[in-house]
Amino acid sequence: MKTIQGIKQIGVPVKNLERAIGFYQEKLGLPLLFTTDHMAFFDCAGIRLLLTLPEKEAYSHCSVLYFEVDDIHSSYEEMKGSGVNFVDEPHLVAKMDDVETWMVFFEDSEGNTHALASEVEK
């Protein structure tokens, strides 16, 4: 099984998005890529760093690794078949120009939540 290609993004939960943007941009010198109402994306040497106001309590206490895959649907089916505990199904999270970002979340053996991520050109 070779579905994971690398780490696409690391999600860091924050309590105050504006304050966190200032810290990562001004103190750490990371380039800000773009923001939404609840998220900010930075470039960290080719890996996206996502600062986010957590949607769920389960995501508020630890960082989330977003593993990059080519085909999220086949990776999901393959990993689910091998016993990975997914907490949802692949779903569209963002559309930017001609690129769609898809994700699906899963738990590792220690109860940490991580995700598979795939960007599809349309």
DSSP character string of the chain? -----EEEEEEEE-S-HHHHHHIIIIIS-PPEEEE-SSEEEEEETTEEEEEE--SSGGGSSS-EEEEE-S-HHHHHHHHHHTT-EESS--EEEEEETTEEEEEEEEE-TTS-EEEEEEEEE-
What does the mean pLDDT of the chain come to? 89
Q: What is the mean pLDDT of residues 11-39?
A: 92
Question: In angstroms, rounded to a whole number, what is the distance separating the alpha carbons of residues 65 and 6?
Answer: 10
Total-model pTM: 0.76
**What average pLDDT does range 88-99 have in this prediction?**
91
Residue 88: CA count within 13 A, CB half-sphere: 15
pLDDT band at 1 (very low <50, low <70, confident <90, very high): low
Can you list the domains of the chain with their CATH numbers? 6-121 (3.10.180.10)
pLDDT band at 2 (very low <50, low <70, confident <90, very high): low
Query: pLDDT tens digits for 71-92?
Result: 999 999 999 998 999 999 999 9
